[in-house]
A and B are shown apart, each in its own frame.
Chain A
Amino acid sequence: MPPRVIDRVTDSSGLSVGVLGVGNIGTVHLQSALAMPEVTVVAAADAVPENRTRAERAGVPRTYDDYVELLDAESIDAAIVALPPFLHADAVSRAADAGVDVFVEKPLARSTEEAAALLDAADRGGIAVGVDHTLRYQSDMQGVKRAYTDGRVGHVPYASMTRLNDHPLGRPPAEDEPPAWPHDPDAAGGGSLYELGLHCFDLLEWVFGEVEVRDAVMGNSLDVPVEDAATVLLRAPETETTITLHCGSYQWEELPEVNTELRLEGIGGTISNDEFLPANFYASAARSAIENVTKRFTGAEPDVYAPTFYLEAHYDALADFCASMRANEAPPIDGADGRRALELAEVTYERAKTDGETETEHPEVLS
């Protein structure tokens, strides 16, 4: 992360923000920013009229159908880039031209090559690049890391991580047409490995230090143009831990149930993220909601998204980025972290291809 050359924050405490892309995750960021003290959302951009209407209803003063127009017209300190991946490099380059710091949804780019070009553009513009790798901010993952660092189970020879969901197809009943770009390797960069695996790589290096990809197998439950499952064998040399990672987009997800599992098998026992999740989601959500209402009447700030802990992590990640921008410091998760996760994904693809000198054959959908 190069030193920031210009202090662009418009006053000593506030941060003016534009949101580029207000689809699903962009709306989570938008709502987070709107609820954030010392952050002002001045504008949002989205090509979809319904998304702009939703942003306006949420309280955004001005909306644009093109993020380039927003960056040209608005004087902002930072931009949240929640566009499809194929637009990240262009959006960051244009933000760099405008001298606007960026918080980029993962994947940072579609490849390490594109990430390098993106980061070069950011360097030239003297802007900071933050990346939304949110698993580090989930309370259950923080609990695992804390227990591990505290030495609760001693040496951990083996760890396993699983992350499954149903993006972008969803579960029954069928409702809307799923977007096409997540299944387009040119647009998304990859499949499940990009959608879910990048988060997992970032988390595993956060817990164990640098990891190496030893082997991998890709899977396709449906005949989609990208992988909808990836199984990766990793090794963390620093902690001498062998890790298996499985991520897939083939499993129906019914919120608030989220299938993210991390288990550390240590000499003295097991650490599981389950230990740090609410025993009863609905009771926990109700308690958080009551606490937030009470805070309002006592003049305290609410814990944003506290009733939905997996979204609270997105709030905390963005809040951390905004705080670092206000303090004129480097982002806590920066472009180098985003590029590193992509590097691990690319090695994973290579390992999967070179396994047995032949590309893994995809199973047929037909039973």
Chain B
Amino acid sequence: MARLQTPIRRLLDSHLSSLGAATTVTLVPDAHYPYHPSTGMVTDPAVVGATVAFLERETSTDVAVAGTSEYVTAERTSAYLDLDDVLDRFDASLVDLSETPRTTETFTLGDQSVAVAVPDRLTTSSVIPLPTLRPTQDGPIAGGMRTLASHVDCSVAGGVGAAAATIAVDPELAVLDATTVYAGKSYAADTLLAGPTAAVDAVGARLIDRSVSDDPAIRHGLRTAPESIGVEGVDVTTLTARCPSGELPPPTKPHPAVSLAYRTYAAVSGDAVPPQLDGR
């Protein structure tokens, strides 16, 4: 974690005045499941820890880390990933956003009316999403916008919902943890990127070879043309060449057609259907 303190300070120093003015800061890492941080499938707790440490050292604001109980309880994931230890060390707290009150807001995005129910914690505090660099199950970058959206109930699914959630939360900035990237395989990119959430997502998408223009989240979220996003301190072209560009592994649950085919074979032959292939 110590090796990350200087890079985090460099990335956050310019935001110190606004972060210091906030009563609370909520960090929103990608902690959707207790995957080992060395895979790049979740935000490295060391990145979370270095960010918490910076804020505790440089500001007097209360810092919390948002957890999710979408698949596994936030407490269990935090314990398995050793986030508990980080939070204890710096006197920060874990907040399970699935258990906090929400406020509903409706606004128009493009030609769509979108309703979002946002945890109050995310609208009453300064927010920093800390996504990892990986794709989602349907292909695009998980990113800061979709990491925020995973905590927000939205009337529209997919990228538009992610953009709506981000507008509703209005994060201070995003810090993309690309210390390890996952895109079909893992790669130790040893990189952190910080900036406006949609812009950081756009750069991340480029790194894992996703089309920025095909992603409605980035399209709706960006306030500037993708090609005008400047990146300092990182050779994006070289890093893109090194980063993998694959997908997540296929779901464990088989495709319905595979299940049907196996059940048909079993019915004809008298063989048994393994539970992994039953699909029902």
A interface, CB within 8 angstroms of B: 24, 27-28, 31-32, 34-35, 54, 57, 169-178, 180, 221-224, 250, 252, 254-255, 289, 292-293, 295-296, 301-308, 311, 315, 364-367
Contact = CB atoms under 8 A, between A and B. Distances in A.
25 contacts: A28-B275, A32-B272, A57-B280, A172-B182, A173-B249, A174-B70, A174-B71, A174-B72, A175-B252, A180-B76, A222-B34, A222-B36, A222-B80, A223-B79, A223-B80, A223-B85, A252-B249, A254-B249, A254-B250, A289-B269, A302-B271, A305-B274, A365-B36, A366-B37, A366-B82
Contacts of A296: 268-270
B36 A221 contact: yes
A305 to B, nearest CB: 6
Nearest to A22: B275
Nearest to A176: B71
Given A24-B276, A365-B36, 6 more contacts: A31-B275, A54-B280, A172-B41, A366-B85, A366-B86, A367-B179
Interface residues of B, number: 46
Given A171-B249, A174-B71, A175-B253, A35 B271 contact: yes
Interface string B137-153: 10000000000000000
* Residue among A178, A303, A306 with the highest chain B CB neighbour number at 10 A: A178
B270 A31 contact: no
Contacts of A35: 270-272
Given A172-B249, A175-B253, A365 B271 contact: no
A250 B249 contact: no
Interface in B85-104: 85-86
A171 B185 CA distance: 12
B249 A307 contact: no
Top 3 closest pairs, chain A to chain B, by CB: A31-B272, A292-B269, A365-B82
B278 A170 contact: no
B72 A177 contact: yes
A33 to B, nearest CB: 9
Interface stretch (B18-26, B43-51, B158-166, B197-205): B43-51
Contact of B274 (A176, A308, A365): A308
B274 A311 contact: yes
Contact of A27 (B44, B86, B275): B275
Contacts of B45: 365-366
B107 to A, nearest CB: 30
B49 to A, nearest CB: 7
B206 interface: no
B interface secondary structure, majority = loop
B251 interface: yes
A169 to B, nearest CB: 6
B38 A367 contact: yes
A170 B72 CA distance: 12
A308 B258 CA distance: 14
B35 A172 contact: yes
A364 B81 CA distance: 9
B248 interface: yes
A289 B265 contact: yes
A136 to B, nearest CB: 20
Contacts of B32: 174
Contacts of B180: 367
Task: Classify the secondary structure of A's interface with B.
Answer: loop
Contacts of B278: 27, 54
Given A54-B280, A315-B272, A174 B38 contact: no
A301 B271 CA distance: 9
Contacts of A180: 76
Contacts of B273: 31
Nearest to A364: B82
Nearest to B138: A173
Nearest to B253: A175
B253 to A, nearest CB: 6
A340 B38 CA distance: 37
A324 to B, nearest CB: 21
B62 to A, nearest CB: 23
A292 B249 contact: no
Given A28-B275, A223-B80, A172 B270 contact: no
A173 B253 CA distance: 10
Contacts of A169: 33-35
A255 B276 contact: yes
A239 B80 CA distance: 42
A153 to B, nearest CB: 34
Nearest to B268: A293
B167 interface: no
Contacts of A308: 274
B229 to A, nearest CB: 28
A173 B76 CA distance: 18
A216 to B, nearest CB: 22
Given A170-B252, A173-B248, A301 B81 contact: no
Contact of A366 (B44, B70, B252, B269): B44
Contacts of B269: 289, 292-293, 295-296, 302
Nearest to A366: B46
A28 B276 CA distance: 9
Contacts of B72: 174, 177-178
A54 B80 CA distance: 32
Contacts of B268: 293, 296
Contacts of B265: 289, 292-293
B33 A292 contact: no
Q: Which of B35, B70, B250 has the most CB of A within 10 A?
A: B35
B156 interface: no
B1 interface: yes
Contacts of B35: 169, 172
A132 B119 CA distance: 49
A177 B71 contact: yes
A142 B41 CA distance: 38
